[in-house]
Chains A and B, each alone.
Chain A
Amino acid sequence: MTKFNCPECSGEMEVPDDAMEGEIVSCPDCGEEFEVNVDEKKGKELKKMVAEREDWGE
């Protein structure tokens, strides 16, 4: 697990080591969702989920 501070509420978040590019993780404190971004140099980063797109769904 890699520890992050939630970019939204600064709460503590844990991201699994096998989390993949584009994987959706959410903050246990505020519930905000983030996308994992894997950068070769910087390692894993969290970016805010884009707002739901019009054709997204199940």
Chain B
Amino acid sequence: MLYDHIRPEERLLINAAKRKGIELELYNAEDIFFEASEIEHIQNFQDTVLQRCISYFRSINLSALLENKGINMINSSKIASLCGNKLLATITLEKEKIPTPKTFIAFTIESALNALSKIGYPAVIKPIIGSWGRLVAPLKDPESARAILEDRDCMFPVYQVYYLQEMIERPSRDMRCFIIGDKAVAAIYRYSGPDDWRTNTARGGRVEDCKITTEIEDISIKAAKAFGDGIFGVDLMESPRGLLVHEVNYTTEFRNSVPATGIDIPGLILDYAIRRSKK
């Protein structure tokens, strides 16, 4: 397992490996360095590596280097690149005709305001790279939209790729369905915390078990398959026009989902990694 921090998820994976008698080798990405063409002389990696870095850029670059040496990365650098970039993820989902919120992209403040006049207010702006609801902001009217866009205009250039979405009329919750390989193994509802409209558990949202209906299973598996064979947390919203996929996570967190669902997600992840390593 490749990591840069041991979150509760990585600790649960380590404990599940101990429980199952699996020898899980741990590689700290912060200690690794290698010449791009001479990886094997520096680190003796196993043939299959579970990628669990928190950092997106570290994850995709390290995975690409290791894949170049024939190592089977779970998830692959391609999956991580697509899932970790909301614009690429939207393109991937759209290509497979998977329902997603209406999304516009713009690259200047004026064109973003023009796009917003098409979407209508309130709308939502999201950074194309980032997680845990960070810098996801509601745009309530043209004045507040301009103020937020002007702020983003002073930030690092990635924040000037304006990813704008319709605000979905939904209950104060969304859903996450965990896909491991071709199976939907668990699902949760994520309820907004008391002081935030976002449902991210990192922002104080709470979790409840969610029964996996055929509708949830079908759309989640289809969404995961659009990215490839791997381990995913597919985020869904209940909208007036049915379920919409708004995000697909590639190093999904599950610390709160294990007690809520009673499903041994880390154990299932390891079983899947072992199956993949034997292929």
Contact = CB atoms under 8 A, between A and B. Distances in A.
Contact of B249 (A20, A23, A58): A58
Nearest to B26: A20
Contact of B134 (A21, A24, A35, A52): A52
Contacts of B84: 55, 57
Nearest to A57: B131
Nearest to A26: B8
Given A53-B55, A58-B252, A24 B132 contact: no
A22 B4 contact: yes
A28 B134 CA distance: 25
Interface residues of B, number: 29
Given A56-B55, A58-B233, A24 B5 contact: yes
Tell me which of B26, B58, B134, B252 has the highest count of chain A C-beta atoms within 10 A of its own C-beta: B134
B157 to A, nearest CB: 12
Per DSSP, chain A at the interface is loop
A54 interface: yes
Contacts, number: 58
Contacts of A19: 6
Contacts of B131: 56-58
Given A22-B3, A23-B11, A55 B55 contact: yes
Interface string A25-58: 0000000000110000000000000001111111
A21 B30 CA distance: 10
B130 A22 contact: no
A58 B58 CA distance: 13
A35 to B, nearest CB: 7
Contacts of B68: none
B129 A55 contact: yes
